Amino acid sequence: MSDERTVSRRSVIAGAAAAAGGAILSQVPLVEAQQPVAPGNPSAAPGSGTTAQGARSAFESPARAPTGVVTGSSFTPLQDLTGTITPADLVFERHHSGIPAIDPAQHRLMVHGLTDRNVMFTMAELKRLPSVSRVHFLECSGNGRAAFRDPRPAMTPQQVDGLLGNGEWTGVLLATLLRQAGVRAAARWVIAEGADSAKLSRSIPLAKAMDDAIVAYAFNGEALRPANGYPVRLLLPGYEGNMSVKWLRRIEVTDQPIMARDETSKYTDPLANGTARQFSFVMDVKSLITRPSHPQRLDRGWREIAGLAWTGRGRIARVDVSTDGGGSWTQAELQEPVLSRAATRFRLMWEWDGREAVIMSRATDETGASQPTREAFIAARGPATDYHFNAIRAWRVGRDGTVSFV
């Protein structure tokens, strides 16, 4: 059994510096959370009755952090989750101008441009169309920025890679709407625009729009939460999260990209040779060990190393785990089902003998792409790169059992 320190989620992360695709977090001391008290004999008297909505146990308190961010990010507590599905109320948030309040009865989605006809959809009309439900991950392209730029031992998985969510999306294929509008032969791109005050816009290749893009109105079996795009958003499986425009109100079919602010001044990646990488849509193969991780403290003996792996290029093919800093690797077990463009849970039993250890994970996807080392990542992309941080992550287990980020 491990002796894990309970940490107040409100104290794990404080403040965020607004940055494109993510935020670099301030580090604050961890404090002990006040524990709830249960009756000594719960079977001595009837418990509470039913409620309109279920609540978590008072003994469980996962939370996004930081709170109150209008322009910036709030991170998913990956270390507190099991399996692969992210609860709807814990999906990370990335906002450019806060969360708009939208009446679904008044909301409209327009499809226009290089089309045979302009069409306007109400929410009721969208829900009358054939729907799909698919499990996919969603990741901000700036995920991992703080861990790359300013790695600190006290970072948790939430702080390292918490701009990640995974779950079941339900909605209408964008191709269905485009076919109703009639796409002209000259069309090559579509422009997606949100209804927030930032009017975030992104250019999307027509091929992707006609393939697996979803105009989603539900997540994990319920309507989208407001922070996640209610009443309707775009979901582009495997593409960087900023392109999955929330509060979707307009799709324009065009013959070229729009070159909007959110794909020029932001979400364009500077490289070491003085050039920039633009339209790097697909999220790279990646993995993260979530247990053991900071702030856990281990006792000697057998335990499970577990984490998440994902790739925008399809399925995860394998995950290898090292407990000696990359000197040797052992293939981990992948939890079924292993789905395309979805997070996959990996597991490996490990006997810790009390000596210092460095544990790492390295994912490989079905295209053969694998996570690079930090050194290889910097050599290829340069130290000033700003997006798609997929280098191998590591945790150090000290002789006293404390776990810290490397």
Name residues whose C-beta falls within 8 Å of residue 350's C-beta, 6 or more positions apart in sequence.
302, 303, 304, 305, 321, 323, 359
Query: Do 167 and 88 form a contact (C-beta atoms < 8 A)?
Result: yes
Q: How many CB atoms lie within 10 A of CB 1?
A: 7
Query: Do 321 and 273 form a contact (C-beta atoms < 8 A)?
Result: no
Q: What is the pLDDT of residue 65?
A: 95
d(CA 244, CA 235): 5
Q: What is the pLDDT of residue 33?
A: 54
Q: What is the pLDDT of residue 174?
A: 98
Q: What is the pLDDT of residue 104?
A: 98
**pTM, to two decimals:** 0.90
**What secondary structure, in 3-state letters, does 191-227 show?**
EEEECCCCCCEEEEEHHHHCCCCEEEEEECCEECCHH
**DSSP-assigned beta bridge partners for residue 248:** 194
Q: Which domains does the chain have, with CATH numbers?
A: 108-145+166-277 (3.90.420.10), 286-405 (2.60.40.650)
Q: What is the pLDDT of residue 29?
A: 39
Report residues of the chain scoring pLDDT below 70.
1-34
